[in-house]
Amino acid sequence: MTTNAQAFSRAVLAWFDEYGRKHLPWQQQISSYRVWISEIMLQQTQVSTVIPYFERFMQRFPAVEQLAAADEDEVLHLWTGLGYYARARNLHKAAKQIVSAGEFPKGQNALEQLPGIGRSTAGAISAIAQGERAAILDGNVKRVLCRYQAIDGWPGQTSVTKQLWQLAEQCTPDQRFADYTQAMMDLGATLCTRSKPQCERCPLQQDCIAHRGGTQTEYPNRKPASQKPLRHTRMLMLVNEQGNVLLHKRPPTGIWGGLWSLPELNADTDPVEHAALHWQLQINEAEIWQNFVHTFSHYQLQITPLKSLLARPAHSIMEQGSWLWYNMQHPQELGLAAPVKKLLQRLSDQLQIGYRPRPLTITQEFSMSRTVHCLKLNKDAPGLALPPYPGAKGQWIFDNICEEAWKQWQDHQTRLINEKQLSMMNPDDRKYLTGQMDKFFSGEEFDQAEGYVPEQK
């Protein structure tokens, strides 16, 4: 262990002695079995939620033998509300393996062989219950170490994970492993939190590189956005003798569902032949415009615009059902796909038509596909159709929170309201819920409600 690593663990242990949690149920009558159950329950679930589940579980299955002998339905029943039921199934399976082996496996490597136990969980059981020096690297510890050393790169990358494990091993002291393990988990959960680390109270602040540089929230680095596939299409702007453009209504499902759009052609389709064959229209050779890219949540669409004029007046009836000649001087109130609106504007500029799309009603405007980089889930995902309520906060949610995360909050809010018997008529209750919502979206610890199902990572 280097001097720096010694200083690190000394500071963490001194902090733990004063502020660490020492009265949690699994910190009493410590055994491999009890620590194992608590560690599995605590995966992606907060301490306050886990405590009642742990106590009920221990009452019914005080030792691994009772768990192994239980019916799986009963195990799952006691797990109901904690989510991630694979954790409960693996516990049950592992309990049977332990009982048939005749003893609880000892040491990080042996523990890792059991279903549902990864290296970090095995390290925690080993260090806390078996008196063996073993490192842990759960999400909380990763965050602390990434910030302390300003480690660049996404922790899911093999090279970064390897670096973090090395550091975790180095920092683990040669004695008091159990306290150190608990201390690191506590530090990450209570001080070095995701969005608002309380560095002023942190025992590591003096040497923490991210703290010194004021870059705490940049670490751990986010997962790099994956490259979206690029697809291609060509959009035909066919203009008739009145300067109107041919549009068609898209099917109700799929991209731009139900919106009006320009006809699309494959790369190898000749527009002149296509118009004659499918629309009985004679059109001039198409002019190719500069292409551009439109981004969807899962792919990018490269659009090559083609412009053509009718060579002869149209005799075929186009204005039926899903087709119309769109009047750019006196536009109808239609929902237009976003790139189509852009192209119509350019076309009218070129034709010198005073095109001003009619303002759409808010529902039409926002029903168009939009994606946000969701701060809560840290991924690109479909955004809300409208701000959930007026004002700056509603706008902030609209800009930064995706539909999926908003739904998660609404479900959680419902549980909080039911469990705490809150009333939206009561200003204090409303204030409490707003505070909880801020914490929920910013990654700070928020109050759990019985039956809360943690978000999938």
What minimum distance in Å lies between the beta carbon of 201 and ligand SF4?
A: 8
Residue 240 found at the interface with ligand SF4 (CB under 6 A): no
The CB-of-192 to ligand SF4 minimum distance in angstroms stands at 3
Q: CB 108 → ligand SF4: shortest distance, Å?
A: 25
Should residue 204 be labelled a site residue for ligand SF4 when binding is judged by CB under 6 A?
A: yes
Single out the segment in contact with ligand SF4 by CB under 6 A; choices: 34-42, 78-86, 198-206, 317-325: 198-206
Residue 259 in contact with ligand SF4, rule: CB under 6 A: no
Should residue 216 be labelled a site residue for ligand SF4 when binding is judged by CB under 6 A? yes
Q: How many residues of this chain interact with ligand SF4, rule: CB under 6 A? A: 14
Q: Which of 142, 211, 250, 412 binds ligand SF4 (CB under 6 A)?
A: 211
Shorter beta-carbon distance to ligand SF4: residue 205 or 369: 205
The packing angle between helices 32-42 and 119-129, to 10°, is 140
Q: Is 189 in the site for ligand SF4 (CB under 6 A)?
A: no
- Return left, alpha or beta for 124; rule: phi > 0 is left, psi -120 to 50 is alpha, else beta: alpha
- Which one, 129 or 135, has the nearer CB to ligand SF4? 135
The stretch among 39-47, 195-203, 354-362, 417-425 that binds ligand SF4 (CB under 6 A) is 195-203
> Shortest approach of ligand SF4 to residue 205 CB, angstroms?
4
Residue 35 or 137: the one with the smaller Cβ distance to ligand SF4 is: 137
Beta carbon of residue 187, minimum distance to ligand SF4 (angstroms, whole number):
7
Per rule CB under 6 A, is residue 37 in the interface with ligand SF4? no
Pairing of strands 287-288, 371-374: unpaired
**Please, are residues 13 and 183 in contact by the beta-carbon 8 Å criterion?**
yes
Distance of CA 67 to the CA centre of its chain: 34
Site for ligand SF4 in 344-383 (CB under 6 A): none
Q: Does 122 bind ligand SF4 (CB under 6 A)?
A: no
Among 7, 51, 76, 199, binds ligand SF4 (CB under 6 A): 199
Range 138-177, binding ligand SF4 (CB under 6 A): 144, 147-148
Under rule CB under 6 A, residue 208 binds ligand SF4: yes
Nearer to ligand SF4, 179 or 380 (CB): 179
Tokens describing residue 59 = 């009452």
- Min CB(341)–ligand SF4 separation in Å: 46
Residues 390-409 binding ligand SF4 (CB under 6 A) are none
**Is residue 8 at the binding interface for ligand SF4, with CB under 6 A as the rule?**
no
Any idea which residues carry the catalytic annotation?
A: 39
Phi first, then psi, for residue 92 (nearest 5°) are: -65, -45
Is the Cβ–Cβ distance between 290 and 260 less than 8 Å? no
Q: Using alpha carbons only, what angle is made at residue 430 by residues 426 and 433, rounded to the nearest 5 degrees?
A: 140
**Binding residue (CB under 6 A) for ligand SF4 from 210, 275, 281, 437:** 210
- Asked if 294 touches ligand SF4 (CB under 6 A), the answer is no
Q: Output the smallest distance, CB 10 to ligand SF4, in A.
A: 15
Contact call for residue 271 and ligand SF4 (CB under 6 A):
no
Burial class from Cβ neighbours inside 10 Å (0-12, 13-18, 19+) for residue 242 reads exposed
In whole angstroms, the minimum distance from the beta carbon of 175 to ligand SF4 comes to 23
- Rounded Cα distance, 149 and 220, in Å: 10
Among the listed residues 13, 40, 168, 191, the single contact to ligand SF4 using CB under 6 A = 191
The CA radius of gyration of the chain, in Å to the nearest whole number, is 30
Selected binder of ligand SF4 within 27, 31, 205, 221 (CB under 6 A): 205
Q: Give me 405's structure tokens.
A: 């995360």
Angle (CA) 132-136-137 rounded to 5° is 170
Q: Which residues lie near ligand SF4 (CB under 6 A)?
A: 144, 147-148, 191-192, 197, 199, 202, 204-205, 208, 210-211, 216
